[in-house]
Structures are given as C-alpha cells and as structure tokens.
Amino acid sequence: MRTCSLLNVTLFFFYLQQGKAWQHQAKERSPVILIPGDGGSQVEAKLNKSKVIHYACEKVSNDYFNIWLNLELLVPYAIGCWIDNMVLNYDNVTRKSYNQEGVDIRIPGWGDPFFVEYLDPSKAFPGSYFKDIGNMLVNNLGYVRNVSIRGAPYDFRRGPNENEEFFVKLKTLVEETYIMNNNQRVTLIAHSMGGPMSLLFLQRQTQKWKNNYIESLITLAGVWGGSVKAIKVFAIGDNLGTHFLRESTLREEQITNPSLGWLLPSKLFWKDTEVLVETASKNYTLADLQQYLIDINVPNGWEFRKDTEKYQMNFEAPGVTVHCLHGSAVGTVEKLSYGKLEDYPKLVLGDGDGTVNARSLKGCLYWQSDHHPKIYHQEFPGVDHMRILKSDDILNYISNVLSV
C-alpha cells in the first residue's frame, strides 16, 4: 500500500513537471486528444476456454496478450483461432453483444496516445495508426505525450449504444487534460468512425461546458452518414488492404460487429429509392436493406441497424469549431452488382476516399449556418481513407491550426 502511495506521489510530480515544461514551450497551444476509428484501438485478450476450434489454438493464457493488431495471429494457420477469439455473439432480446465463452477482451491504454499511435505494440510498420500525427506534434510543435497528447481508445467492434462508458470517461479525460495544460482548451482529432463518436460525445455536453473545455474538433475522413462499403463487408468481407488475408475468412468476424450496422448508409444521405444492390432478378434499395441482409444470411446485421440508427438520425451540430478534412477522387464502392446473389459481386465505384462515399464525408457541411461555430471544410484529392493519417498536407493543416 505504501509503495503504491509513493508511486502515485512520484507520478504526480512527474506529470506536474512535464506539464510545466509544456506550458513553458507552448503556453497558448491547445492540447490534443486522439480519437480512433474502426480498428484504431489496440485490443487485448485473456483466454480460459474449455474447447477450441482446432488443436493448434490456445485454450488458456496466463495473462492478457495483444490480439489486435497482432500480425502473427492473422497468418493462415492461426486466423481461425483469432476469429474464434474476436467474434461477438448477439442477444436480440437484451440487444447486447458478448464475447465468446472463456474469452475476456479489454481495451488497454486509456489516456495514453501510444495505444492509438500504434496498433501493434511492437511498432511493426503495418500497425502504425496515429503515429505520424503524434510525431509531428512532438517534433515540430513541442507537444509532450501523456501530457499535451492523450489517446481515447474504445472497443470499435461495438456501436455507440454499447460504448456508454467511453463517453463518460472521455469527458473526464478532457477535463483532466485541460487542467494538466494550464487550463488550455482541448482539441479533439478524430479519424473515420471516431468522427461520429466525437459528435455523439459533444451532443451530450452543455454548450457552457464545450465553450470552456473544447477548442475545436478536427476530423479526418469522418463517416458522417455511413458508407456503402459496410454493405460490401456484410456481403463478402474486407481483406483490410492486404494480399495475404482472404475477405471471406475475415468476414466471419466482421459481420458479428454491431458497429458495422451503425456504418450502413444513413437515410439522411441516401434516398430510400436508391438502388444499392442489383441482381439479374431483383434490385435492393435502401428501403430493402433488411431483406438484403436476410437474403445473404446475416439477419443480425438488421438488428445492429435497428439498435444504432437513432444515433445516425440525430445529426445535431456539435456546437464547436470543426475542421472537416477528407480525401476525394478515389474510387469508392457505391453499388454492388450481381448476376445471382450467390455470385461474387462487381463493385460499382463512385467518388469518395476509397472507403467512405463523398456524400457522407461532406456531411459536416450540413452544420454550416449563422448559428453555429465555424465549419472549415477541405478536400484532398487522391488521399485515401488511411493515407490521410500521414499525408504531408494533412499534417501541415493540423500544425497550422494548432499553431495559431
């Protein structure tokens, strides 16, 4: 007990001194909290399973280990074990998802930017995420990790209805970061699904609180109104941009994530009559989405949609200055075209950033009015959904905003 108390006192003075150093270097600069998108947080698992799907799969682990992003677990001989540990089960009575029996999942590193800068703790190249933004803040602007740069990871498999704790903890993190940095208002930098997660968070706060604690929201490739790619993932999966992983294999895990239902196209941005899936015998519009998900044998996809659609439909402005940045002119799936539904579909492409459709990326423009803080919007042609995290143009934009 005394050891813990001594450690706490030591840490307090460490952070106090770091905070003073930060204040000296950049007294007027806004501290930053990084908010990741889908797949943008490290995930750890601890196993105590009575059975496994394959003799090579581990039943019991003595401690938590990194399961996302762990490239060693995504190779062909181990991928089945990984899927069995990462999938969620869904109870359509309680409207909640739960982990596999004998699998304990946790999201490590609350507040620590390392856990969103790198998805692989070993810092392997494919696992870098907010790394370039973090390095720019430290090397160019004098920011200090765990003082003026913080991280807000969460379980991206689940939708906002199952991430209530995140919103509560984020408010505390903002207030704590504000105090640690000499009462400087905080800038939220959010990527992809982190955009609407940040929006929901800000909608829950009073305007007085936001005026006091929030400097601005910078969003990178915000998925404001869902994406047709979510339909594609439900249908055939996604290989995460790799050549060694099969879409159909990863689909087994991806279609169990309620957050995927939240990312389906929003009625605010697509008309009910728009054809999203076409076959030789039948077309599916947005209004037919439930039937399509049933026809491709993922009925839970519609349950996920029902649980999360209200979060899409509440598109009230966040009440803070927004810098809405995204790519454009990158081929992005806008329709699936089949011969027969059991065939592999042709992906009909349109404008977007390769993942999110242009109309969804531009959703922030709906908030432009005389009654709302300024909305700054800029497109970056040719910058795709992940490249935006390391684009020099984006890094310069963020640097300029934080240097004012």
Range with the poorest average pLDDT among 121-125, 157-161, 191-195, 375-379: 121-125
User: According to the model, what pLDDT value does residue 26 have?
Assistant: 42
Catalytic residue among 353, 360, 384, 391: 353
| pTM for this prediction | 0.92
The pLDDT confidence band at residue 372, using thresholds 50, 70 and 90, is confident
The pLDDT confidence band at residue 19, using thresholds 50, 70 and 90, is very low
Q: Is 288 a catalytic residue?
A: no
Q: Is 192 a catalytic residue?
A: yes
Three-state SS letters, the chain: CHHHHHHHHHHHHHHHHHHHHHHHHCCCCCCEEEECCCCCCCEEEEEECCCCCCCCCCCECCCCEEEECCHHHCCCCCHHHHHHHHCEEEECCCCEEEECCCEEEECCCCECCHHHHECCCCCCHHHECCHHHHHHHHHHHCCCECCCEEECCCCCCCCHHHCHHHHHHHHHHHHHHHHHCCCCCEEEEEECCHHHHHHHHHHCCCHHHHHHHEEEEEEECCCCCCCHHHHHHHHHCCCCCCCCCCHHHHHHHHCCCHHHHHCCCCCCCCCCCCEEEECCCCEEEHHHHHHHHHHCCCCHHHHHHHHHHHHHHCCCCCCCCEEEEEEECECEEEEEECCCCCCCCEEEEECEECCCEHHHHHHHHHHCCCCCCCEEEEEEECCCCCHHHCCHHHHHHHHHHHHC
| Domain locations along the chain | 29-228+310-403
The pLDDT confidence band at residue 77, using thresholds 50, 70 and 90, is confident
User: According to the model, what pLDDT value does residue 404 have?
Assistant: 81
Q: Is the pLDDT of residue 10 over 80?
A: no
Whether the Cβ atoms of residue 34 and residue 149 lie closer than 8 Å to each other:
yes
Share of the chain above pLDDT 90, in %: 86
Q: Is 353 a catalytic residue?
A: yes
Q: What is the CB-side half-sphere exposure of residue 107 using CA atoms within 13 A?
A: 20
User: According to the model, what pLDDT value does residue 230 have?
Assistant: 98
| CATH no. for 29-228+310-403 | 3.40.50.1820
User: According to the model, what pLDDT value does residue 242 have?
Assistant: 67
User: According to the model, what pLDDT value does residue 248 have?
Assistant: 87
User: According to the model, what pLDDT value does residue 6 have?
Assistant: 36
Mean pLDDT, range 210-231, rounded to an integer: 98
The pLDDT confidence band at residue 244, using thresholds 50, 70 and 90, is low
**pLDDT, tens digit, for every residue of 184-211?**
999 999 999 999 999 999 999 999 999 9
User: According to the model, what pLDDT value does residue 370 have?
Assistant: 64
Mean pLDDT, range 284-292, rounded to an integer: 97
Mean pLDDT, range 162-188, rounded to an integer: 98
Q: Is the pLDDT of residue 293 over 60?
A: yes
Q: Is the pLDDT of residue 335 over 90?
A: yes
Q: Is the pLDDT of residue 21 over 70?
A: no
Nearest CA among 201, 238, 192 for reference residue 360: 192
User: According to the model, what pLDDT value does residue 204 have?
Assistant: 98
Mean pLDDT, range 80-87, rounded to an integer: 97
User: According to the model, what pLDDT value does residue 243 have?
Assistant: 66
Higher pLDDT, 250 or 1: 250
Catalytic residue among 30, 128, 192, 360: 192
Catalytic residue among 97, 384, 385, 391: 385
**CA 92, CA 220: separation in Å to the nearest integer?**
33
Q: Is the pLDDT of residue 130 over 50?
A: yes
